[in-house]
Amino acid sequence: MERVFVRVPATTANLGSGFDAIGMALDVYNDFELELTKDDSWTAEIAGEGCEDLPRDETNLVLRSARFLFDRAGVDVKGLRAKISNRIPLARGLGSSATAIVAGLAGANALLDRAFNDDEILAMASLLEGHPDNVAPACLGGIVVSFENDGQLWTQRIVPPADLQVVLVVPRFHLSTEAARAALPRQVSLQDAVFNVGRAAFLASALGKGSFDGLSFAMEDRLHQPYRKSLVPGMEEVFAAAKGAGALGVALSGAGPTVMALSRQNDSRLGEAMAAAFAAHGVQSDVIWTKPSSQGALCQFEEKG
């Protein structure tokens, strides 16, 4: 194969209590085209989100991820061109970097006629990202519980409830994962750890059964959100507005600053209430209604004649 097209979904990680362990694919996608070239250059063409800021040379994350896989396979690739169409907001806690990593790996693997299996691709993606909670649902689709043990990645995939809706309220400012990580304490109390363990276990079980009872409490967190609220002005008020407007549960999406809420139906009043709470703190935001995606990264091929 000389050219491959890859579609990768956005993801929302943590879902509150499942810090670094639970992620969900969303029905919003970035599209990528990877093509082997005969010239000695690695270039990226970018449209949409980040088109003015993302690198177009070999330092682009898609190209770096593809080169990582080619190196792992022991294959010397002379040139590669990537065309990137970004719809997922960057640095907002929606897995944009995970889509680039997964697309680079999956696309390069397809160009090598699948030199690596799906588990190996996911392990590489987790290594490059530094944690699996975004890349796992980006690869597999659905809701994924994941953890690493002695270098081995373990995952359990949950089929999302069919009637689950997701509203994303996306502030118009960037928040790097590094900054959000730096805000976390090095140690937490036993009480807070137990608080999260019980809720995360309940959350995974409830979503697996398609039960919405108790999600509001199951998505509560004491391990990361309390420490990140200073980075997201109005976060507590946005949470309160979501619950007041009938959300099933609400959480910071990934490292933030996006706040996501779960709902049984697409009710514009929920997103509007959350956006208004942000606006009261001087934060402008955009509302995106979506739903969980059962489809992970998808590759399609084109032979050049």
Same domain for 237 and 264?
Answer: yes
Backbone angles phi, psi at 7, to 5 degrees: -120, 130
Contact 93, 11 (CB under 8 A): no
pLDDT in tens, 200-258: 999 999 999 999 999 999 999 999 999 999 999 999 999 999 999 999 999 999 999 99
Average pLDDT, whole number, for the chain?
94
The C-alpha torsion from 31 through 258 and 57 to 124, rounded to 10°, is: -70
Judge if 94 and 186 occupy the same domain.
Answer: no
Sheet architecture: strand order including 285-290: 249-252, 259-263, 165-171, 285-290
**Looking at the structure, do residues 151 and 24 belong to the same domain, yes or no?**
yes
Residues 154 and 298 grouped into a single domain: yes
Nearest to 49 by CA among 95, 105, 103: 95
Element of type H or E holding 169: strand 165-171
First to last CA, the chain: 11
Under 8 Å between Cβ of 104 and 65: yes
- List CB contacts of 290: < 8 A, sequence separation 6 or more: 10, 26, 27, 28, 165, 166, 167, 168
Mark whether 47 and 19 lie in a shared domain: yes
11/153 same-domain check:
yes
* Number of domains observed in the structure of the chain: 2
For the stretch 171-185, pLDDT in tens is: 999 998 889 999 999
Which backbone phi and psi does 30 adopt, to 5 degrees? Answer: -105, 145
Q: Which domain CATH number covers 256?
A: 3.30.70.890
Q: What is the pLDDT of residues 260-287, one digit of tens each?
A: 999 998 888 999 999 999 999 999 999 9
Q: What is the pLDDT of residue 1?
A: 52
Average of per-residue pLDDT across 149-156: 92
For residues 215 and 99, membership in a common domain is answered with no
Which structural domain range is residue 34 located in? Answer: 3-159+293-302
Q: What is the pLDDT of residue 266?
A: 85
Average pLDDT over residues 175-198: 95
In the predicted structure, residue 305 carries a pLDDT above the cut 70: no
**Do residues 134 and 224 share a domain?**
no
Residue 230 CA: distances (Å) to CA of 224, 225, 226: 11, 9, 8
| Rounded mean pLDDT, 67-78 | 96
**Domain match, 123 and 171 both:** no
Q: How many CB atoms lie within 10 A of CB 270?
A: 27
Same domain, 298 and 232: no
| CATH number of residue 98's parent domain | 3.30.230.10
Q: pLDDT tens-digit profile of 26-68?
A: 999 999 999 999 888 999 999 998 888 899 999 999 999 999 9
On whether both 172 and 125 belong to a single domain, the answer is no
pLDDT beyond 60 at 303: no
- Is pLDDT above 50 for 304? no
Both 125 and 259 in one domain: the answer is no
